[in-house]
Each structure stands twice: as C-alpha cells, then as structure tokens.
Amino acid sequence: MRKSDRADVAFLFLGEMLLVPHLWPIVEALAQARPDLTIDVWISTSAHEELLGEWMAPLTPARVRLRRAPGFLQHATLGKGQNPPLPAKLPMLLRLAPALWNVPVTVCAEQTSLWLPRVLPMRSRFVFTVHGAGPLNYNRDGRLRHASRLFVPSDYLTADHVAHGISRDAIAVTGYVKSAFRPSVTAADLFPDTRPVLLYAPHWQRYRSSWWEWGHAIVEMLAAQDRYNVVLAPHQRLFERDEEALAYLNRFADLPHVHVDSGSFAMVDGSYTQMAGLYLGDSSSQVIEYLARPRPCVTLDTPEMAWQPDDYRRCGAVVRSLGDLWPAIMAAEEQHPLYRDVQSAFAIEALGHAGNDAPRRSAQAIIALLAKS
C-alpha cells in the first residue's frame, strides 16, 4: 500500500451487529474532530455495508472509506441491520493483517481482533473499546493486555482490569459510547395501542440466563395477559445456543400485543430499552443500559443461574420462584420508588458519562494516541 493510501485510523466492524453502536459514534466523533484524517472502516458482510453505507454521506468532507475485509460475505436476502452469518474471523484477520500492520491506530470492540497484536509484530496500536456494561468476561490468553488502550465506560471495573494485568496507564475512561446512538424503532411502530411496554431479553449464556429454566413459562404468561405490550428480544446469540427458540417464540408473534425479534438492528441499537416501562432482567448488560433512565425492573434469579452480581439484585424485586413472578410484575411500578436511587447510582457507576460526550472523549483519546505514533 502506497503511503498516500494508508489510513491514519482503522475501525474493525468484523463481528456481530451488536458491536456497531459501540463503534460507529466514535467514527462520527473522530471524523468531526479531525476531518483531515483518513479513516478506514473495515466491514465483513454486505449487511454491514448496507447499514453503514447509509451513514457515510453526512461525514463529508471527512475522509472516511468503507472497505471490504478479505473473505467479505455477500448476503442478498437479509434485511437492513439484520445480524448476518459471519466469515471465519481468524482467517479474515490474518489476511487483513498486512493492510493494518502500519496503520497508526486500529480500533475494535471484540477481543478476537486482539489476536493480531497478540501473535504478530504489528506496528499499529490497537484500541479496544469495551462493549456492553457491567462485568467483563476475561479470556485467559492475555489478548486484552496487547491493546495499547482500553476504553472503559467508567472506573467500575478498573481494579479488575489491573488485577488481570492491564496497565492502569493503558485504561481510558470515556463514558458509555452506545448511549449516543440513535434508536431506530419506537413503540408506536410496533403496537396498535399505547399500553406500557414490558421487555424480556434473556442472556445467551446459560449459566447467567433465565431462559432455559423459565423462558417458555414467562413467554406464555406474558402472551396471556393484556396489561402490557410485550417485546420478546433475547440476546442474538441465544438463538445459536437454543436452535428451537425462534420457532417457539414465533408461535406468539401474531398477537397484537407481542413483538418478537430474533435478529433486527433494533435488538442492539437501544430501541427496546428506550421504549420499555418495565424490564424483566437476568444478567444482561442491557439491564444497566435500561437503568440509565431509572424505571421499574424485576430481577430474575432462577435456581440454576450461577452468576448474578449483587448490583443487579438491588435494582428491583428479585424473583427466585416462578410463582412469584406475576405478583412482582404487578407490584413493580408501585414499588419503584424503593429502588430508584439505587438504580441511578448503579447506572452512573457502571456507565459513567452518557450522551455525546462518550464518543468525543473516545475520539480525543485516539487523537492523543496518534500524536504518540
């Protein structure tokens, strides 16, 4: 690659659509702050291309280039923003490495891309921006230690990162980038009336999810009631773990007060956490995103769940028996004043600064890193 063609910063949109809201606001903020920079946005599928391509025009006159990564997959039948099948990540990264090797800064939101600085002598400085809120699952292979900068929403997990070998100097507290993202769907788009919206979005990892024990019973309970409009939007990866989940949920999709989502962009862009007035939560980071604006929340703690931090349990009534769930739902609004202050404090502690300040801080941290490159 000729020096004139080399990007100053590369952003890797190689993973699931859920990563897009954690990265794109930084692209926008960086392009606005430094329109003189050449920014490469690497994408892995046509679904990413269609979605991100629509957002490129407002970035003019910034030099932002949408680029297809090696192994790029074309998906002709997917709707815009729908989560696509992805190319094999490691072969893609190995083939992409020469194009990234000499780019001053590379930004990613998934740990798989950190295999490049972990195993190859990359000159590029990698930035990992933490996606999701709340505790981070650590891999034992040391990939995170090979990021030159780790962007975190707040100091909530700084001590944990340091305990896992991350230099404190490598951690930049930026705020929660996704909070600046613009949701694409409102309740009026989904339901014919204005009943309050209840959101059930169980986690995909079995040890921290209510789905496998209670999911079917919860769905049937919500389908049978008429107090709430209901959004059933499990974590996208749940459908990989339970291949029968989608067929089961679709049995209820024709009910006027039930909206089933198994893969649209609204699942990950904050649409449902914005519109909901009551959240049934297990341990998904979406619970914390929802609590950024404190509202009634019922915390699910099934007998088989092996991971449920105390912070979650303090944010609403904790249901440990399925027979107690509907009474807890009915009482949630009345009891919310008991939890409002705790919810607010927890959200601020975990998410830090919200709104447009988070992408701006992230962009400024990248610019500072460029100055050292």
251: left (phi over 0), alpha (psi -120 to 50) or beta: alpha
Q: How many CB atoms lie within 10 A of CB 339?
A: 21
Closest CA relative to residue 62, chosen from 76, 41, 77: 41
pLDDT of residue 140: 73
Cis peptide before 61 (omega within 30 of 0): yes
Using CB atoms within 10 A of its CB, is residue 356 exposed (0-12), middle (13-18) or buried (19+)?
middle
Tally of residues, the chain: 373
Q: Inform me whether the pLDDT recorded for 103 exceeds 70.
A: yes
Q: Inform me whether the pLDDT recorded for 305 exceeds 90.
A: no
Taking each helix axis from N to C end, the angle separating 357-372 and 20-33, rounded to the nearest 10 degrees, works out to: 70
Q: Inform me whether the pLDDT recorded for 269 exceeds 70.
A: yes
159 or 121: which leads in pLDDT = 121
Q: How far apart are CA 368 and CA 159, in angstroms?
A: 23
Q: What are phi and psi of 127, to 5 degrees?
A: -115, 130
**Considering the entire predicted model, what is its pTM?**
0.90
Quote the distance between the C-alpha of residue 58 and its chain's center: 24
Tokens representing residue 107 in the block:
């930004």
Confidence of residue 141 (pLDDT cuts 50, 70, 90): confident
Q: Inform me whether the pLDDT recorded for 312 exceeds 80.
A: no
Mean pLDDT of the chain: 91
Owner of token pair 């063609």? 5
Q: How far apart are CA 288 and CA 283, in angstroms?
A: 9
191 or 130: which leads in pLDDT = 191
272-283: per-residue pLDDT in tens? 999 999 999 887
Give mean pLDDT, residues 150-176. Answer: 90
Q: Kindly report which listed range (39-48, 192-201, 305-314, 325-334) carries the lowest average pLDDT score.
A: 305-314
Give mean pLDDT, residues 218-232. Answer: 98
**Helix H or strand E encompassing 40:** strand 38-45
348-369: per-residue pLDDT in tens? 888 886 566 999 999 999 999 9
307: left (phi over 0), alpha (psi -120 to 50) or beta: beta
Owner of token pair 């975190």? 152
232-261: per-residue pLDDT in tens? 999 888 998 999 999 999 999 999 999 999
Q: Amino acid identity of 326?
A: W
Which domains are present in the chain? 3-176+353-372 (3.40.50.2000), 187-351 (3.40.50.2000)
